[in-house]
């Protein structure tokens, strides 16, 4: 009996590690509330291991050499992009940033490191909704039109390749983007089928909206529904947030701007649902405010700023911020976007535009293009009811949908990263 | 302060030139064909709410000029120097430098905690300095934090605020960035006290003090995760102004 027990224990000790390696760990995400998942940074424990430094070069593209940039944007001079390059021949991935994000935002840097580690050259592109892109690289200067933004992005990608082609050896072109950058990637891929400059091998859409208008409406409402008085009370709201931070600091004895600290603080002082939603709403509003103002100034004003005024590098912009912060994406859509595209094409209507700016509008293409895959979450807050089911049906086996993670909350999760790497290697989807 | 004065004399002249060139007009200039915007403040700002991010900034034209100077100074001199520093020194050495700098500046935390009669924090600061200077080998390591004694940062601007001095007009200082009249006064006070009664006076060697001033400036810039006009907002000046003001209010209240 004793003899058997000893051998059994020895046997188990030898075998168990291999078993636990063979069976995949189930996906675990520390925040089950989708708003929490969206707002909180994933604690490092769950994040994929990525290199600390990767070889990065920043370069500037003069997209429209003829364009005169207004003096009020004195610090803007060409579109900055970045290249992370492999030593030898390797496939290349273009990454399109999400709403209001720049090529070097913290999330973009994580993507660059992760994809570099997987063996790719990476070219990072600022979101067409970021003022830097609006000022330097948008042909319409009226961001949000997926077909037009795709043309702008495609132009930038070609210029970027022209700029770096002597430094890198590319075996194939691939494309990805997250959030708004995800849906834009789909439209860029469609454009590439006609233009055939890159002939993308693999295209991955990460947490894209299905309908642009549906998603921006959800995000607009997060501010209006969760801050009493809406944008008029932002100042008060900010004071409350800062007081809460100060209270947490007092209670915990220290403050540190790290995901671990915020995770600990949130466990101790659970945030209310409406507060989390207001955080998402405010951060979206700040991005759209910047975009709308930049677009208005570039087109000579008339919406936020008076038409035909001269603004210098010393002009005080506070009064315009006051107006712009009270302007939702919805306002911009109805009062700037629709009239602009109607002026170009009189048969265009608001409803037609809404319909146009959706993955449903290119449904047949997405169904047939086997190179396109999807990474998403069942509880993503930017989707309307029914949209995740639509995506699941649309992409079938080419979709990887996690049960939790909110909007982009799990992008750096080991399981999500593993999927991305396998997808681009052609082992998934 | 004497060091600060001599090193930066030329820079200040340069700033002055830039500011004069930049002019002080802060209002948009209307022309004959100017038409009003579709969205107007009167329609949008509800009565009884604040219009926006109001910070007292009567010197805005000047401040924006300095902000612009800081952008160029950072881009073409300060950040390249910081990157060189990061390139030359291993991370491990950089961490030792940061600890050393923090330990030397405990002098200001000590005096200001004392001036505000925060006796517990004063005691903690003193204990930290003793522990880190001895066990932490001249402050290169920070065992005090590991033992539960956290840094108690206070400066003379906070001390003035603690005794009820208002912030005064907002100021953007060359190289140092956002401030206001109270905090600038505080900075001058801290610098004078530090140079005349603090570690530089104990060492009493101008070359060492100069070296320390330069290294600590590089180290502090390195640890500041901010670069001008990288926020992606055309309203960066306004937002930084508001955040700075709110942050100081909280630091004073704590």
User: Is the pLDDT at B49 greater than 80, yes or no?
Assistant: no
Residue A268 lies in a domain: yes
Nearest to A310 among B23, B31, B39 (CB): B31
State residue A284's pLDDT score.
Answer: 92
User: Is the pLDDT at B33 greater than 80, yes or no?
Assistant: yes
Q: How many domains does chain A have?
A: 2
State residue B54's pLDDT score.
Answer: 77
Residues A100 and A184 in one domain: yes
Residues A185 and A222 in one domain: no
* Claim: this prediction has a pTM higher than 0.95: no
Band of the pLDDT at B53, cuts 50, 70, 90?
A: low
Q: What is the pLDDT of residues B145-193, one digit of tens each?
A: 999 999 999 999 999 999 999 999 999 999 999 999 999 999 999 999 9
Residues A395 and A308 in one domain: no
Nearest to B60 among A75, A308, A316 (CB): A316
Q: How many CB atoms lie within 10 A of CB A57?
A: 12
State residue A261's pLDDT score.
Answer: 72
State residue A20's pLDDT score.
Answer: 43
Which residue did the predictor score with more confidence, B30 or B74? B74
Residue A16 lies in a domain: no
Residue A322 lies in a domain: yes
User: Is the pLDDT at B93 greater than 80, yes or no?
Assistant: yes
Residues 250 through 269 of chain A touching chain B, CB cutoff 8 Å: 250, 253-254
C-beta of residue A112 within 8 angstroms of C-beta of residue A124: yes
Residue B133 lies in a domain: yes
User: Is the pLDDT at B248 greater than 60, yes or no?
Assistant: yes
> What are A60's two structure tokens?
């500037």
User: Cα–Cα distance between A198 and A93 in angstroms, integer?
Assistant: 11
User: What is the domain range of residue A71?
Assistant: 34-211+350-424
Residue B102 lies in a domain: yes
- pLDDT in single tens digits along all 429 residues of chain A: 455 555 555 554 444 444 444 446 788 888 888 988 888 878 888 889 999 999 999 999 999 999 999 999 999 999 999 999 999 999 999 999 999 899 999 899 999 999 999 999 999 999 999 999 999 999 999 999 999 999 999 999 999 999 999 999 999 999 999 999 999 999 999 999 999 999 999 999 999 999 999 999 999 999 989 888 888 888 888 888 877 777 777 777 666 656 677 677 777 777 788 888 988 899 899 999 999 999 999 999 999 999 999 999 999 999 999 999 999 999 999 999 999 999 999 999 999 999 999 999 999 999 999 999 999 999 999 999 999 999 999 999 999 999 999 999 999 999 999 999 999 998 876
C-beta of residue B172 within 8 angstroms of C-beta of residue B66: yes
Residue B205 lies in a domain: yes
User: Is the pLDDT at B2 greater than 60, yes or no?
Assistant: no
State residue A418's pLDDT score.
Answer: 94
Residues A237 and A300 in one domain: yes
Closest CA to A357 of A177, A208, A222: A208
Closest CA to B53 of A325, A100, A296, A224: A325
Tell whether A45 lies on the interface with B, counting CB pairs under 8 A: no
Residue B128: its chain A contacts at CB < 8 A? none
Residue B3 lies in a domain: no
User: Cα–Cα distance between B108 and B191 in angstroms, integer?
Assistant: 9
Among chain A residues, CA nearest to B91: A52
Indicate yes or no: CB of A323 within 8 angstroms of CB of B25.
Answer: no
Question: Looking at residue A157, which CATH number applies to its domain?
Answer: 3.40.50.1820
Nearest to B254 among A246, A311, A322 (CB): A246
Q: What is the pLDDT of residues B184-222, one digit of tens each?
A: 999 999 999 999 999 998 998 999 999 999 999 999 999
Among chain B residues, CA nearest to A308: B34
Residue B150: its chain A contacts at CB < 8 A? 253-254
User: Cα–Cα distance between A380 and A209 in angstroms, integer?
Assistant: 9
Tell whether B40 lies on the interface with A, counting CB pairs under 8 A: yes
Residue A202 lies in a domain: yes
Last residue of one domain, picked from the residues A329, A344, A359: A344
Residue A7 lies in a domain: no
User: Cα–Cα distance between A234 and A238 in angstroms, integer?
Assistant: 6
Residues A377 and A287 in one domain: no
Q: Kindly report which listed range (A187-196, B116-125, B243-252) carries the lowest average pLDDT score.
A: B243-252
State residue A98's pLDDT score.
Answer: 94
Residues A136 and A103 in one domain: yes
User: Is the pLDDT at B3 greater than 50, yes or no?
Assistant: no
Residues A221 and A317 in one domain: yes
Residues A98 and A206 in one domain: yes
Band of the pLDDT at B43, cuts 50, 70, 90?
A: confident
Nearest to A314 among B36, B46, B64 (CB): B64
Residue B27 lies in a domain: no
Tell whether A57 lies on the interface with B, counting CB pairs under 8 A: no
Residue B5 lies in a domain: no
Residues A406 and A296 in one domain: no
Residue A198 lies in a domain: yes
Residue B45 lies in a domain: no
Question: What's the whole-number mean pLDDT along residues B24-39?
Answer: 82
Nearest to B26 among A104, A314, A325 (CB): A314
Residues 72 through 91 of chain A touching chain B, CB cutoff 8 Å: 72-75
State residue A18's pLDDT score.
Answer: 44
Q: In the A/B pair of chains, how many CB contacts fall below 8 A?
A: 148
Residue B185 lies in a domain: yes
Last residue of one domain, picked from the residues A295, A327, A344: A344
Picking from A244, A246, A289, A321 by the largest number of B CB atoms within 10 A of its own CB, the best residue to mutate is A321
Among chain B residues, CA nearest to A312: B28
Residues with Cβ within 8 Å of A425's Cβ and at least 6 positions away in sequence, in order, are A118
Residue A10 lies in a domain: no
User: What is the domain range of residue B109?
Assistant: 57-253
Residues A110 and A203 in one domain: yes
Question: What's the whole-number mean pLDDT along residues B29-33?
Answer: 85
> A372: buried, middle or exposed (CB in 10 Å: 19+, 13-18, 0-12)?
buried
Instruction: Please give the span between the terminal C-alpha atoms of chain A, in angstroms, as a whole number.
Output: 51
Band of the pLDDT at B247, cuts 50, 70, 90?
A: confident
Residues A254 and A290 in one domain: yes
Q: How many domains does chain B have?
A: 1
> What are A79's two structure tokens?
């579109």
Residues A222 and A335 in one domain: yes
Last residue of one domain, picked from the residues A344, A361, A391: A344
Nearest to B25 among A246, A307, A312 (CB): A312
Which residue did the predictor score with more confidence, B228 or A14? B228
DSSP summary character for residue A27: P
User: Cα–Cα distance between B92 and B98 in angstroms, integer?
Assistant: 10
Residue A363 lies in a domain: yes
> What are A39's two structure tokens?
């707002």
């Amino acid at each position: 009996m004793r003899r058997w027990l000893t051998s059994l224990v020895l046997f188990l000790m030898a075998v168990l590690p291999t078993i636990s390696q063979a069976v995949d760990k189930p996906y675990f995400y520390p925040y089950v509330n989708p708003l929490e998942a969206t707002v909180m940074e994933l604690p490092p424990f769950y994040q994929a291991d990525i290199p600390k430094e990767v070889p990065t070069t920043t370069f500037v593209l003069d997209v429209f050499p003829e364009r005169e940039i207004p003096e009020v944007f004195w610090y803007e001079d060409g579109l900055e992009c970045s290249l992370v390059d492999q030593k030898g021949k390797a496939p290349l991935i273009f990454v399109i940033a999400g709403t209001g994000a720049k090529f070097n935002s913290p999330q973009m840097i994580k993507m660059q490191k992760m994809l570099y580690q997987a063996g790719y050259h990476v070219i990072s592109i600022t979101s067409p909704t970021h003022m830097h892109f609006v000022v330097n690289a948008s042909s319409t200067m009226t961001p949000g039109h997926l077909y037009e933004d795709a043309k702008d992005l495609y132009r930038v990608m070609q210029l970027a390749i022209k700029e770096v082609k002597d430094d890198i050896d590319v075996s194939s072109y691939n494309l990805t983007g997250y959030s708004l950058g995800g849906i834009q990637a789909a439209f860029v891929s469609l454009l590439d089928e006609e233009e055939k400059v890159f002939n993308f091998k693999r295209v991955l859409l990460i947490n894209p909206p299905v309908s642009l208008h549906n998603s921006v409406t959800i995000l607009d409402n997060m501010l209006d529904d969760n801050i009493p008085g809406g944008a008029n009370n932002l100042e008060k709201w900010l004071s409350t947030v800062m007081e809460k931070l100060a209270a947490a600091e007092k209670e915990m004895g220290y403050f540190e701007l790290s995901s671990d600290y915020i995770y600990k603080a949130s466990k101790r002082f659970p945030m209310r649902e409406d507060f989390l939603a207001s955080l998402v709403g405010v951060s979206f509003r700040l991005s759209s405010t910047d975009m709308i103002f930049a677009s208005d100034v570039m087109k000579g004003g008339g919406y936020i700023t008076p038409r035909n005024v001269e603004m210098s590098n010393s002009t005080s912009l506070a009064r315009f911020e006051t107006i712009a912060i009270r302007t939702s994406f919805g306002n911009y859509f109805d009062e700037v976007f629709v009239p602009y595209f109607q002026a170009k094409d009189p048969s265009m209507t608001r409803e037609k535009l809404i319909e146009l700016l959706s993955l449903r509008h290119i449904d047949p293409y997405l169904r047939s293009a086997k190179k396109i895959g999807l990474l998403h979450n069942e509880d993503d807050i930017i989707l309307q009811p029914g949209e995740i089911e639509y995506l699941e049906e649309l992409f079938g086996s080419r979709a990887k949908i996690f049960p939790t993670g909110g909007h982009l909350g799990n992008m750096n999760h080991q399981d999500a990263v593993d999927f991305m790497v396998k997808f681009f290697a052609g082992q998934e989807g | 302060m004497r060091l600060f004065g001599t090193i930066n004399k030329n820079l200040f002249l340069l700033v002055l030139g830039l500011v004069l060139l930049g002019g002080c007009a802060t209002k948009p200039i209307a022309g004959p064909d100017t038409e009003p915007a579709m969205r107007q403040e009167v329609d949008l700002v509800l009565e009884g709410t604040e219009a926006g991010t109001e910070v007292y900034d009567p010197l805005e034209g000047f401040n924006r000029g300095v902000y612009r100077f800081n952008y160029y100074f950072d881009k073409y001199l300060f950040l390249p120097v910081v990157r060189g520093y990061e390139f030359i020194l291993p991370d491990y050495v950089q961490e030792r430098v940061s600890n050393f700098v923090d330990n030397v500046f405990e002098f200001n935390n000590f005096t200001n905690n004392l001036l505000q009669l925060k006796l517990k924090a004063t005691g903690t600061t003193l204990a930290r300095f003793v522990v880190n200077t001895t066990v932490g080998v001249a402050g290169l390591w920070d065992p005090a934090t590991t033992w539960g004694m956290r840094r108690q940062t206070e400066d003379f601007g906070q001390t003035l605020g603690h005794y009820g001095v208002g912030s005064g007009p907002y100021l953007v200082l060359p190289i140092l960035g956002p401030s206001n009249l109270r905090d600038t006064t505080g900075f001058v006070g801290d610098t004078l006290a530090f140079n005349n009664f603090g570690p530089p006076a104990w060492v009493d060697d101008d070359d060492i003090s100069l070296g320390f001033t330069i290294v600590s400036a590089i180290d502090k810039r390195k640890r500041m995760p901010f670069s001008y006009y990288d926020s992606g907002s055309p309203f960066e000046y306004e937002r930084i102004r508001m955040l700075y003001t709110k942050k100081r209010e909280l630091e004073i209240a704590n």
